[in-house]
Amino acid sequence: MTPPTATTTTTTISDLPCGCAELLQFINCRLIRDHQLIKDDLWVRNGKIINPEPVFFDERSKAHRQVDCHGAIIAPGYIDLQINGGYGVDFSYDKDTTEEGVRLVATGLVKTGVTSFCPTLVTSPNANYHTILPRIPKSIPNGAGILGVHVEGPFINPQKKGAHPEDCIQTIDKGLETLVATYGSLERIKIITLAPEKVSDPCVIAELVKRGITVSLGHSMASLSDGERAVQQGATLITHLFNAMLPFHHRDPGLVGLLASDAIPKGQTVYFGIIADGVHTHPAALRIAYRTHPQGLCLVTDAISALGLEDGLHHIGQLPMEVRRGKAFIAGTETLCGSIAPMDECVRIFRKATNCSTVYAIEAATLHPAKSLKMEQQKGTLNFGSDADFIVLDDDLHVLSTWIAGECVHRQDAQ
């Protein structure tokens, strides 16, 4: 066989220009693949991760450029299923600057290793949904990808409203018609958080699932049987486990009991978001969730507008919010209203708290969220044919660089 004759240039990540669209071969790296950390090269072309064998044997060519990673880890990009804003932007509150705000957050998130996210709207007036949802862009150049919107409410239980304004909470009294009237359209929605005990029409959840919307259970007083009934109707996710729901009780464990329920339909996995920011969820609670139902665990930030900002007064949705000592509260109270820890920090905190493997900690923020949205063929892995959304990490899981569709959108030494 005639060997490839194309010229290959070897460089380092720090020397590689952002926006490079060549056939790239990442060498001297360790990949998260098949639930393992393996020594292998990563090949990227046209925004996809590719199998190098056809390139070498069929095309008889080689990479235009080799990128030396100096032993670093390459992992899929982080996916955040629940984020309310950041960098001074609140997706629910800043309705007049939606496009600009989403753009600012999307370009900020890549510095934390997030390559895809679901902008999250908390319980709001109908008019806000009608204004904001159509304005959320579908893509942002050099920013994290937008998978669709997570509407957290307004169909929740007022007894577990958390930071949600009670006067905007609604009930589903006319089935799917109520949801369409509330949101204006379901087109941009990827996840809906609702309280299952407040859904009297058994067709609502099933109809949402048919439309490709993931139904998540949260802000709820639901019993375990309420939760099991919702899962049997198609719900597959729990919103920020342990937070804004009944505490675990041995006679009726509530939504938490879904992690060990024997009434889940065969072949269906219940996923759950969990906030590992060192504030919302005690390390022991993280360990309980991890050891009980590891395959369903999805790290989320639940980050608010104060992400990346200093202490002071801000807003979340319709409510004033205050950041004090690294925690976010409803102003004038001790009620937590969201996290200000970025995803890369959550991954590090989770790994330390649970003593899980590096691979598992990363998959909890990549593969598991992708599976919860049924997107694991495109996102959350480094498999051949998947989107070339990945991050380069050191052994302490700090982000060295972030890549989306095979292009470098952030590099630590370029800050």
Tell me whether residue 337 is annotated as binding.
yes
Tell me whether residue 336 is annotated as binding.
yes
CB 152 within 8 A of CB 179: no
Tell me whether residue 206 is annotated as binding.
no
Tell me whether residue 31 is annotated as binding.
no
Tell me whether residue 126 is annotated as binding.
no
Tell me whether residue 51 is annotated as binding.
no
In DSSP terms, which residues pair with 45 in a beta bridge?
48
Tell me whether residue 280 is annotated as binding.
yes
Tell me whether residue 20 is annotated as binding.
no
d(CA 98, CA 77): 24
**Nearest to 78, CA basis, from 33, 104, 32, 116:** 116
Tell me whether residue 293 is annotated as binding.
no
**Nearest to 192, CA basis, from 203, 202, 201, 179:** 179
Tell me whether residue 251 is annotated as binding.
yes
Question: Any idea which residue has 């994290």 for tokens?
Answer: 144
CB 94 within 8 A of CB 313: no
110 contacts: CB under 8 Å, gap ≥ 6: 142, 143, 144, 402, 404, 409, 410
Phi, psi of 222 (to 5 degrees): -65, 140
Q: What does the CA dihedral 125, 153, 301, 38 come to, rounded to 10 degrees?
A: -130
φ/ψ region of 176 (left if φ > 0, alpha if ψ in -120 to 50, else beta) reads alpha
Choosing from 90, 94, 226, 302, the catalytic residue is 302
End-to-end CA distance of the chain, in Å? 46
Running DSSP on this structure, what letter comes out for residue 406?
A: T
d(CA 123, CA 167): 9
Phi, psi of 256 (to 5 degrees): -60, -30
Establish whether 302 is a catalytic residue.
yes
Running DSSP on this structure, what letter comes out for residue 55?
A: I
**Element at 173 (helix H, strand E):** none
Tell me whether residue 187 is annotated as binding.
no
Which residues belong to the annotated binding site for substrate? 163, 243-244, 251, 280, 336-338
Q: What residues are labeled active site?
A: 302
Which residues belong to the annotated binding site? 152, 163, 219, 240, 243-244, 251, 280, 336-338
